[in-house]
């Protein structure tokens, strides 16, 4: 029989490797990013020659129109794309809610878009939207519509970015909502029907409220992913034309590796981190798995 002291140590032994890796790979870099934000350090030079500049990078960041434009674009992208995905996903899930034969095959297909590498997604859609050789313009011409220079126009490029995100993630929302609907107790719907509720009222008064937790979790997960988005747009438009598709993660990357200002990009990272952490805290407060288990 293991001694009492050994037993007490057991959980620490179990968690130690994981904690060490997360400290080294996540926490330490985040703390470094905070520290780096106080320096002016051009890429390619030694850190010893980096100047300590205090809050200058943060001030520059808050005063920069490019930063606010990029943040605005990111917020707009997240709001529009995620709303569209939620509405579409819920509508489709409600329509397809009945389990039918062959559903397994279709569900498998629906998982495909989110499994494809973001960089592939960016490349495919960049090709699809290509002004001269892309299939979308071929299709437009065939339908008699005038082909557009999608990725060359600020509004159209933004729309292309949104459409790509909708393609990749609506199936995800669909799957989540379907799973939620399947957990619904049939008797509750029955009761509502008996009470005289029509189909629409059944949805709004009964199903949606029950779906609320999963909807909110999905919504916030998508929002966080939207703020993290970088690889798709890196390859599709690299932020252009102008700043019309400059998602904030991309702005950070460019500040570091194009403008070569490592300190400034760290300051930008902190801003992004604050926003994403706030969103995750929101998820935690609404749907905390640990608290739920404690309640049980």
Partner 1 sequence: MKRRQLLQGAAAGAALGPWVHTLAQDRYAKYKGQTIVVNYPAHPHYDQAEKLFAEFTAETGIKVERDKMQYLRMKDKQVLEMGKRGNGDYDVVVYVVMWKTEYVKKDLLQPLDGYFANSALADPAWDQKDIIDRYWETNALVGGPKMYLPGPGARPYGIPFGAETGVLAYRTDLFAKHKLAAPKTYDELLAACRLMKDKEGIGGLTSRGQTGHQVTAAWLLHLTPNGGEVFDSQWRAAFNNAQGVRAAEILKEIVDTGPAGIPSYGFGEMQNAFLQGQAAMYLDSVSIFGPAQDPAKSRVAGKIAYAVHPKGSKHSAQSGGFAMAIPKNARNKDAAFLFMQWMTSKQADLKIALAGGNINRWSTLDNADVAKKYPIELPALRESLKIANPDWRPLIPEWDHISQQILGQALPDVITGGKPAKQALDAVVKAAEDVVRQGGWLKA
Partner 2 sequence: MSHPTSVPRGSPLHYLMLALLATACLLPLVIMTMTSLKTEAQIFDTQWSWLFAPTLDNYRAVVEENHIERYMLNSLKVSLAATLITLMLGTMCAYAMARFRFLGREPLSYSTLILRTLPPAVLAVPVFVIWSAWGIGDTLSGVVLVYVALNLPFTIWLLYGFIDQLPIELEEAAAIDGCGPFRVFYKIVLPLLKPGLAAAAIFTFRLAWNEFILGFILTNRITRTLPASISNYITDTGVEWGKIMAAGVLIALPPLIFTFVAAKQIITGLTAGAVKG
Distance between CA 60 and CA 259 in Å, rounded? 14
Q: How far is the CB of 64 from partner 1 (least distance, A)?
A: 9
Identify the residue whose tokens are 């629906």: 110
- Residues constituting the chain: 296
Give yes or no for residue 152 binding partner 2 (CB under 8 A): no
Query: Per CB under 8 A, which of residues 66..85 are in contact with partner 1?
Result: 66
Select from partner 2, partner 1, none the partner in contact with residue 224, using the beta carbon and a kind-dependent cut-off of 5 to 8 Å: partner 2
- Nearby residues of 86 by Cβ (< 8 Å), 6 or more positions away: 173, 215, 218, 219, 222
Give yes or no for residue 53 binding partner 2 (CB under 8 A): no
Give yes or no for residue 241 binding partner 1 (CB under 8 A): yes
Q: How far is the CB of 200 from partner 2 (least distance, A)?
A: 18
70, 246 Cβ separation under 8 angstroms: yes
Give yes or no for residue 24 binding partner 2 (CB under 8 A): yes
Identify the residue whose tokens are 């390619």: 44
Instruction: List alpha helices for the chain, DSSP H.
Output: 4-22, 28-36, 56-63, 65-95, 103-115, 118-128, 135-143, 154-182, 186-194, 199-201, 208-228, 231-236, 248-257, 262-286, 289-295
Q: Which x/- pattern, by CB under 8 A, does the window 1-40 give for partner 1?
A: ----------------------------------------
Select from partner 1, partner 2, none the partner in contact with residue 242, using the beta carbon and a kind-dependent cut-off of 5 to 8 Å: partner 1
70, 55 Cβ separation under 8 angstroms: no
Helices (H) and strands (E) in the chain, counts: 15, 2
Select from partner 1, partner 2, none the partner in contact with residue 45, using the beta carbon and a kind-dependent cut-off of 5 to 8 Å: partner 1
**Among positions 90, 162, 224, 236, the unique one binding partner 2 when judged by CB under 8 A:** 224
Give yes or no for residue 42 binding partner 1 (CB under 8 A): yes
Query: Per CB under 8 A, which of residues 147..166 are in contact with partner 1?
Result: 147, 149, 151-154, 157
Give yes or no for residue 131 binding partner 1 (CB under 8 A): yes
Distance between CA 71 and CA 239 in Å, rounded? 12
Structure tokens at 165: 């995100």
Radius of gyration, CA atoms only, the chain: 24
Minimum CB distance to partner 2 smaller for 20 or for 62: 20
**Among positions 4, 5, 12, 65, the unique one binding partner 2 when judged by CB under 8 A:** 12
Distance between CA 157 and CA 134 in Å, rounded? 14
**Among positions 33, 67, 78, 233, the unique one binding partner 2 when judged by CB under 8 A:** 33
DSSP 8-class letter at 34: H
- Site of interaction with partner 1 (CB under 8 A): 42-46, 66, 130-132, 147, 149, 151-154, 157, 237-243, 254, 257-260
């Amino acid at each position: 029989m293991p001694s009492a002291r050994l037993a007490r140590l057991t959980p620490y032994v179990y968690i130690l490797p994981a904690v060490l890796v997360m400290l080294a790979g996540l926490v330490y870099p985040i703390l470094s990013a905070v520290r780096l934000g106080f320096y002016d350090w051009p890429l390619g030079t030694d850190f010893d020659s980096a100047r300590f500049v205090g809050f200058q990078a943060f001030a520059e960041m808050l005063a920069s129109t490019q930063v606010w434009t990029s943040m605005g674009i990111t917020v707009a992208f997240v709001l529009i794309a995620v709303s569209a995905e939620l509405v579409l996903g819920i509508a489709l899930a409600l329509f397809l809610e009945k389990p039918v034969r062959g559903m397994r095959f279709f569900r498998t297909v629906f998982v495909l878009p989110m499994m494809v590498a973001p960089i592939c997604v960016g490349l495919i859609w960049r090709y699809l939207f290509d002004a001269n050789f892309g299939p979308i313009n071929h299709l437009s011409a065939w339908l008699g519509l005038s082909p557009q220079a999608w990725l060359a126009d600020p509004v159209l490029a933004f729309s292309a970015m949104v459409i790509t995100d909708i393609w990749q993630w609506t199936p995800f929302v669909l799957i989540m909502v379907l799973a939620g609907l399947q957990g619904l107790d049939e008797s509750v719907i029955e009761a509502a029907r008996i009470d005289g509720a029509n189909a629409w009222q059944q949805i709004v008064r009964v199903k949606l409220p029950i779906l609320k937790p999963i909807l909110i979790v999905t919504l916030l997960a998508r929002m966080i992913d939207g703020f993290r988005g970088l690889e798709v747009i890196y390859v599709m438009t690299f932020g252009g034309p102008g700043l019309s598709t400059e998602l904030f993660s991309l702005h950070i990357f460019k500040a570091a590796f194009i403008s070569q200002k490592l300190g400034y990009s760290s300051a930008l990272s902190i801003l992004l981190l604050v926003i994403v952490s706030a969103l995750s805290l929101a998820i935690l407060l609404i749907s905390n798995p640990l608290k739920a288990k404690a309640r049980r």
